[in-house]
Amino acid sequence: MNPVQAVVLGVVEGITEFLPVSSTGHLTIAEQLLGLPVDDPGITAFTAIVQVGAIAAVLVYFRRDIGSLAASWFRGLVDPVARGGPEYRQAWYVIAGSVPIALVGLLTKDLVAGPLRSLWVVAVALIAWSGVIYLAERVATQARGEGSLRMPDALVVGIVQCVALVPGVSRSGATISAGLWRGLDRVTATRLSFFLSIPALVAAGAYEALSEGAAVSASVGWVSTGLATLVAFAVAYASIAWLLRLVARHSITVFVGYRVALGVVLLIGLSTGVLTAT
């Protein structure tokens, strides 16, 4: 992978990671258009590792919130009084909500890295999950804010996050939709989505870096991987602020038309031979 390709992929990751359009799907499309073998183990690992840049942006953007949650959690482990605080409970919600994707991710690793790394899968998932996003907004009451967040909410959202292992679904699209189905307002659902992304994507990136390090070195190169990750961090930081402003005022169905149109274009390209699946 040359530096230009790395920058392009870093920009794609940074823009799409937190939008309900599927960053993995867009990276797969971009890698295909750049002539990279999307089913190569090194490219698959790169796709997971570069997402750590976007997660670093979450850590910086929400550093005060995350620091407060972590401090409350550690205090609560030794201080019974601190366990009655809302931040102690919210920290446990994030931990519990992260367990499902950790288990499912390990169990389905070969499937995700193999058969699911196909533009056919991306195209169908983009279109199909658009219906879920649309319905979630239609049934959403948005009657509950962050103060009413409970463990069942985190578990449901965490379980639905597993569906986003399918490229094209979108992790943020899945988790925000699940939050809306639970009656959470858009901002609360989006913030929960951000916090649940931290353990999920850091663990995935670290696992791929350790298990597929040789493949990354051989087919991508660590310099290009590092460059793409840095670019993803910078672009994702701006994307977070923009998305929070957007969901405070608008429905996430604004992305449905784009998702469906992109899915249709992919299906046409694949059917006519203009694009190849892997």
Residue ranges per structural domain of the chain? 3-272
Average pLDDT over the chain, rounded to an integer: 89
CB of 262 closer than 8 Å to CB of 12: no
| pLDDT band, very low/low/confident/very high, at 204 (cuts 50, 70, 90) | confident
% pLDDT > 70, the chain: 100
pLDDT of residue 38: 79
Collapse the DSSP code of 141 into the 3-class scheme (helix H, G, I; strand E, B; otherwise coil) and give the result.
coil
Tell me how far apart the alpha carbons of residues 169 and 165 are, in angstroms, rounded to a whole number.
Answer: 8
CB of 15 closer than 8 Å to CB of 235: yes
Q: How many helices (H) and strands (E) does the chain have?
A: 14, 0
Tell me how far apart the alpha carbons of residues 176 and 167 are, in angstroms, rounded to a whole number.
Answer: 17
Which H or E run contains 269? helix 256-272
H runs (alpha helix) in 108-221: 109-113, 119-139, 151-161, 171-181, 186-211, 213-219
Query: Is the predicted pLDDT of residue 278 greater than 80, yes or no?
Result: no
pLDDT tens-place string over residues 127-168: 999 999 999 988 888 888 888 889 999 999 999 999 988 988
